[in-house]
C-alpha cells in the first residue's frame, strides 16, 4: 500500500488489525491516524514493513503483540510514536532502520530489537524528576545496535539518581549504540559507588564491551559524567553506569574525595595519588578563562597616557592654544598577544590575540592656573579578542587528567570613556579616566557554546614627573605610577548542558614605570620625541568564581609582569602629530597566574585645527 493514508476512529479504531495467519503489510509514503493502536497483532503472525511512513496518532500505542501472536516489524525512514508491548507468550522482532525515529511515550518491551542508524527517544518525565517512577523502561530480550542512538532522560546527581533505562532480559546487547543523555534539572554531584544505572541486565543477560557509548558531553553542575561498563568493585559487570568520579590506583580504606560544591583553585598533581577524583570536561578551563580575558581587554583599551595619545598633549606640543573648545581629536589602533596561565583546578591557559580601535575628541583644553594646562574629553573604542584555551580534562580511559585544547573564546568589547589630564609647569602630569565597557561573544567547546553578555567599569589615575638630565638632546627621565580599579560582571547563561555563571570580578591593578625620553627639534618646526622604558605591573584579588548550577570553580588572577617598551611622538606641523609604542610583557615570580604575556603595540594620530 503506497501513498494511501489510513484513518480509524471510534472504539477499537486500530490502524491495522491482524488476526489470523499469512498477514503481510507493506506500507509506504503515507500516514496512519488511529484512535487505538497503530498496529495490533492478535492471535496471528504478522509481517509489517514500513517505508517513509508516519504513525504518531494512536492513543500512545504504536504496536501491540498479544499472547500467542508473532510480529515482525520493520520500519525504514519512518516517524513513529507510542509504546510497543509484547504480552507473555507473544514474540516481537522490531527493526528500526534508515533514520527512523521512534518516540517512546511509556514503558515498552520487545523480544528482539535492532536499532540500525535510527533513534529511540524516551519522552521527558511529566512527574517529579527526582523520582524513579517518573521515568520509563525499555525491555528487550536481545538488542542489537548498528550505529543507532537512544535518547535517555536522567537526573544527574549522585548514585541514587533516577533515569530512563534500557533493560536486557536474558539475552544479549551487541553492536554499537550511542546514548544521548538529557539532564532533567539534576544539579550534578559526585558518585561514590557504581553511579547512575542506564543499561541493566537481568536473568543472566550480557552486553558486549563496546555495545554502548556516550553521544556528546554529559554534565551536571561542574561535573562531567562518563559511561562505565560494570560496577566499581566488579559487581554488575554487564550493566552500564554514569559516573562523575574515577579512581586512581588502589583504593585506600578512606579514599580522599574532593568535597563539593567548590573545586579547589590548585590543579591536581601530575601523578595522582590513590583516591577518587572528579571527572571534568572542557567547560571548566574554557569558561573559567573568560573573566581574565575580559580584564585584559579592559586594560588594553584603557592603556597608559603615552599609549593612548603619546606626548601630543605635553606643554612642548600644546603650544599656546586658547582656553575653550578643544579643537582636537585623536585615534589609535592597538593590539597584543593573549598568553595567560591561570591558577584553577583545570589549569587553564590562553593563547591568542586582541586588536582594537580607539578614537577620542578633546572637549575642552585650557589653563586655569598660570603655567598649568588641562585637557578633558571623551573616547570610544571597539576591541576584538580571540584565544584558544588549553586545560585539564579527564582522559577517555578515566584514569587521570590530560592537558588538551578545550575550546575557544571570542569576545567583542564596546567601550566609552572620559578623561581629564593636567600638566604642571615642569611637565609633570595627572591623568584620570573613567571607562565603561559592554562585552559580547561566545565561549565554545567541542560540544557546547556559551553566549557571553557582560559589562565592565574601570577607573584609573596616573602620574608622571620628568627629570631633566644631561644625557642627550632634551633628555628627561620620567618616573610614572598608575593605580587602576576594574570591575567586570557577566550575566548567567545556558550552554545547552545547564546554567553557567561567570560571576563578577573586581580588584586593583598597579603600575610603576620609568621612561627616558629625548626631544629633538628641527629647524622647520618638526619635533621628534623618541623614548624607551620599563613598567612593572601587579594585580591583587580579582578571583573569578565560575558557577555550574550550584557548583563553584575558583580561579585566581593575581599577577606580576614586567613590560619593556620603545616609542616615539612626532609633531609634523601645527595640525598633525603621530605616535607609536611597541613593547613586550612577561611574567615574573611565577609561571601560574601569568598573564598577560607577549608582544603589544599601538599607533595613533592627532589632528588639531
Q: Which residues contact 132 (CB under 8 A, 6 or more apart)?
A: 162
Residue 34 belongs to a domain: no
374 lies in the same domain as 456: yes
Span 120-148, pLDDT tens digits: 999 999 999 999 999 999 999 999 999 99
- Alpha-carbon gap, residue 350 to 127, rounded angstroms: 44
**What is d(CA 385, CA 142) in angstroms, rounded to the nearest whole number?**
53
User: Is pLDDT above 50 for 456?
Assistant: yes
Residue 55 confidence (pLDDT):
92
Q: So what's the pLDDT on residue 358?
A: 98
**Domain identity same for 217 and 335:** no
Q: What local confidence, expressed as pLDDT, does residue 371 receive?
A: 85
Beta strand segments in 424-573, E: 429-444, 449-464, 467-468, 476-490, 493-494, 499-501, 504-517, 520-521, 527-539, 544-548, 551-556, 559-571
Asked if 604 and 579 count as a contact pair (C-beta separation under 8 A), the reply is: yes
Cα distances (Å, whole numbers) of residue 223 to 193, 277, 392, 446, 544? 15, 11, 13, 16, 18
| Residue 186 confidence (pLDDT) | 94
The DSSP H or E segment spanning 283 is helix 283-288
Out of 103-112, 165-174, 236-245, 267-276, least confident range = 267-276
- Same-domain status, 397 and 501: yes
Range name among 113-122, 448-457, 497-506 with the lowest pLDDT average: 497-506
Segment 36-55, tens digit of pLDDT: 899 999 988 999 999 999 99
CA dist., res. 360 & res. 381, Å (int): 9
Question: How far is residue 52 CA from its own chain's centroid?
Answer: 38
Q: Is the pLDDT of residue 322 over 80?
A: no
- Between CA 212 and CA 310 the distance in angstroms is 63
Tell me which range, 16-30, 300-314, 479-493, is most confidently predicted by mean pLDDT. Answer: 479-493
Please indicate, yes or no, if residue 574 is contained in any of the structural domains: yes
Neighbour tally for 601: CB within 10 Å: 16
The answer to whether residues 376 and 480 belong to one domain is: yes
pLDDT digits (tens, 9 = 90+) for 502-520: 989 999 999 999 999 999 9
Which element (helix H / strand E) includes 288?
A: helix 283-288
| pLDDT at residue 253 tops 80 | no
Check residue 152 and give its pLDDT. Answer: 98
Q: Are residues 545 and 401 located together in one domain of the fold?
A: yes
Averaged pLDDT, 99-104: 97
474 lies in some domain: yes
Report residue 57's pLDDT band, with 50, 70 and 90 as the boundaries. confident
Last residue of one domain, picked from the residues 214, 243, 278: 278
pLDDT of residue 247: 87
Task: For residue range 461-509, list pLDDT tens digits in order.
Answer: 999 999 999 999 999 999 999 999 999 999 999 999 999 999 899 999 9
113 lies in some domain: no
Residues 265 and 367 in one domain: no
- The pTM score is 0.89
Residues 6+ apart with CB under 8 A from 257: 190, 192, 245, 275, 276
Q: Does residue 291 share a domain with residue 273?
A: no
Which residues fall within 8 angstroms of residue 166, CB to CB, at 6 or more apart?
137, 138, 140, 143, 150, 152, 173, 198, 199, 200
Q: Can you give the pLDDT at residue 594?
A: 54
Based on the domain organization, do 242 and 328 belong to the same domain? no
Peptide bond connecting 583 to the previous residue in cis, omega within 30 degrees of 0:
no
**Residue 276 — very low, low, confident or very high, per pLDDT cuts 50/70/90?**
confident
Give the whole-angstrom CA distance, residue 570 versus residue 517.
Answer: 12
Query: Is 482 inside any structural domain?
Result: yes
Please give the residue range of the domain that contains residue 150.
124-278
- The verdict on residue 572 lying in a domain is yes
Binning pLDDT at 50, 70 and 90, where does residue 13 land?
confident
Task: Look up residue 594 and give its DSSP letter.
Answer: B
Q: Burial-class residue 413 by CB neighbours within 10 Å (0-12, 13-18, 19+).
A: buried
Strands 349-366 vs 343-344: parallel, antiparallel or unpaired:
unpaired
pLDDT at residue 311 above 60?
Answer: yes
Give 543's pLDDT tier (boundaries 50, 70, 90): low
Helix (H) or strand (E) holding 300: helix 290-302
Q: Are residues 328 and 262 in the same domain?
A: no
Grid coordinates standing for 352? 591568542
pLDDT for the residue numbered 593: 57
Residues 274, 301 share a domain = no
- 263 and 289, same domain (yes or no): no
User: Is the confidence at residue 557, as pLDDT, over 90?
Assistant: no
Instruction: Answer yes or no: do 600 and 451 share one domain.
Output: yes
The average pLDDT across 293-313 equals 93
> Sheet of 16-18: strands edge to edge?
16-18, 39-41, 61-65, 83-86
Report the 10 Å Cβ neighbour count for 314. 22
pLDDT tens digits, one per residue of 588-602? 876 555 556 899 999
Mean pLDDT over each residue of the chain, to the nearest integer:
90
Q: Measured between alpha carbons, how far is 496 from 218 in angstroms, rounded to an integer?
A: 10
112 domain-assigned: no
**582: confidence class by pLDDT, cuts 50, 70, 90:** very high
243: pLDDT strictly greater than 80: yes
Count of the separate structural domains present in the chain: 2
CA pair distance 576, 589, nearest whole angstrom: 42
Work out the pLDDT band at 63, boundaries 50, 70, 90: very high
Residue 356: predicted pLDDT? 98
Choose among 457, 444, 448, 445: nearest CA to 410. 444
pLDDT band at 368 (very low <50, low <70, confident <90, very high): confident
Domain boundary (232, 261, 278) is at 278
Of 223, 243, 278, the last residue of a domain is: 278
Write the pLDDT tens digit of every residue in 403-441: 999 999 999 999 999 999 999 998 899 999 999 999 999
Whether residue 57 lies inside any domain: the answer is no
Dist CA 14 CA 67 (whole Å): 18
CATH assignment of the domain containing 538: 2.40.128.130
The predicted structure's pLDDT at residue 320: 43
Three-state SS letters, 511-549: EEEEEEECCEECCCCCEEEEEEEEEEEEECCCCEEEEEC
The answer to whether 225 and 219 are in contact (CB under 8 A) is yes
* Cβ proximity of 515 and 581 under 8 Å: no
Amino acid at each position: 500500500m503506497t501513498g494511501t493514508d489510513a484513518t480509524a476512529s471510534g472504539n477499537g479504531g486500530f490502524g491495522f488489525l491482524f488476526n489470523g495467519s499469512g498477514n503481510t503489510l507493506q506500507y509506504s509514503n503515507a500516514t496512519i491516524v488511529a484512535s487505538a493502536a497503530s498496529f495490533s497483532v492478535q492471535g496471528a503472525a504478522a509481517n509489517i514493513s514500513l517505508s517513509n511512513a508516519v504513525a504518531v496518532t494512536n492513543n500512545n500505542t504504536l504496536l501491540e503483540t498479544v499472547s500467542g501472536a508473532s510480529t515482525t516489524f520493520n520500519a525504514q525512514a519512518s516517524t513513529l510514536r507510542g509504546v510497543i508491548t509484547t504480552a507473555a507468550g507473544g514474540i516481537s522482532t522490531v527493526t528500526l532502520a534508515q533514520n527512523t525515529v521512534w518516540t517512546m511515550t511509556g514503558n515498552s518491551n520487545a523480544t528482539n530489537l535492532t536499532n540500525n542508524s535510527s533513534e529511540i527517544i524516551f519522552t521527558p518525565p511529566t512527574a517529579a524528576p527526582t523520582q524513579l517512577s517518573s521515568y520509563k523502561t525499555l525491555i528487550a530480550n536481545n538488542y542489537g545496535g548498528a550505529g543507532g542512538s537512544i535518547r535517555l532522560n536522567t537526573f544527574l546527581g549522585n548514585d541514587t539518581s533516577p533515569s530512563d533505562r534500557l533493560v536486557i532480559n536474558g539475552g544479549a546487547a551487541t553492536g554499537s549504540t550511542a546514548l544521548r543523555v538529557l539532564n532533567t534539572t539534576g544539579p550534578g554531584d559526585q558518585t561514590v559507588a557504581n553511579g547512575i544505572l542506564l543499561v541493566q541486565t537481568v536473568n543472566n543477560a550480557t552486553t558486549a564491551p563496546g555495545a554502548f557509548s556516550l553521544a556528546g558531553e554529559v554534565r551536571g553542575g561542574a561535573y562531567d559524567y562518563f559511561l562505565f561498563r560494570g560496577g566499581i568493585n566488579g559487581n554488575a559487570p554487564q550493566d552500564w553506569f554514569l559516573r562523575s568520579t574515577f579512581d586512581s590506583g588502589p583504593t585506600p580504606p578512606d579514599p580522599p574525595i574532593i568535597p563539593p560544591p567548590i573545586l579547589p583553585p590548585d590543579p591536581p598533581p601530575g601523578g595522582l595519588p590513590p583516591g577518587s577524583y572528579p571527572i571534568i570536561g572542557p567547560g571548566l578551563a574554557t569558561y573559567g578563562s573568560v573573566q581574565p580575558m575580559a580584564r585584559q581587554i579592559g586594560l588594553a583599551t584603557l592603556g597608559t597616557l603615552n599609549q593612548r595619545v603619546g606626548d601630543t598633549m605635553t606643554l612642548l606640543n600644546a603650544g599656546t592654544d586658547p582656553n575653550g573648545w578643544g579643537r582636537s581629536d585623536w585615534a589609535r589602533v592597538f593590539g597584543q598577544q593573549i598568553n595567560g596561565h591561570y591558577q584553577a583546578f583545570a589549569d587553564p591557559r590562553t593563547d591568542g590575540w586582541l586588536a582594537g580601535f580607539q578614537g577620542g575628541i578633546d572637549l575642552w583644553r585650557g589653563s586655569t592656573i598660570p603655567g598649568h594646562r588641562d585637557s578633558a574629553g571623551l573616547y570610544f573604542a571597539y576591541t576584538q579578542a580571540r584565544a584558544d584555551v588549553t586545560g585539564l580534562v579527564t582522559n577517555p580511559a578515566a584514569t587521570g587528567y590530560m592537558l588538551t585544547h578545550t575550546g575557544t573564546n571570542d569576545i567583542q568589547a564596546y567601550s566609552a570613556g572620559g578623561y581629564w589630564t593636567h600638566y604642571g609647569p615642569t611637565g609633570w602630569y595627572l591623568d584620570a579616566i573613567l571607562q565603561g565597557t559592554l562585552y559580547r561573544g561566545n565561549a565554545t567547546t567541542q560540544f557546547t557554546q556559551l553566549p557571553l553578555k557582560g559589562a565592565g567599569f574601570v577607573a584609573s589615575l596616573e602620574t608622571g614627573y620628568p627629570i631633566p638630565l644631561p644625557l642627550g638632546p632634551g633628555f628627561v627621565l620620567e618616573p610614572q605610577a598608575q593605580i587602576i580599579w576594574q570591575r567586570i560582571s557577566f550575566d548567567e547563561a545556558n550552554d545547552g548542558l545547564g546554567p553557567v555563571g561567570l560571576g563578577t570580578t573586581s580588584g586593583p591593578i598597579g603600575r610603576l614605570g620609568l621612561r627616558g625620553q629625548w626631544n629633538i627639534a628641527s629647524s622647520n618646526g618638526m619635533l621628534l620625541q623618541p623614548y624607551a622604558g620599563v613598567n612593572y605591573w601587579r594585580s591583587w584579588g580579582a578571583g573569578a568564581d565560575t558557577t555550574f548550577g550550584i557548583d563553584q570553580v575558583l580561579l585566581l588572577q593575581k599577577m606580576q609582569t614586567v613590560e619593556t617598551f620603545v616609542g616615539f611622538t612626532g609633531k609634523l606641523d601645527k595640525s598633525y602629530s603621530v605616535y607609536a609604542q611597541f613593547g613586550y610583557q612577561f611574567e615574573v615570580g611565577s609561571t601560574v597566574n601569568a598573564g598577560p604575556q607577549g608582544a603589544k603595540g599601538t599607533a595613533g594620530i592627532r589632528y588639531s585645527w
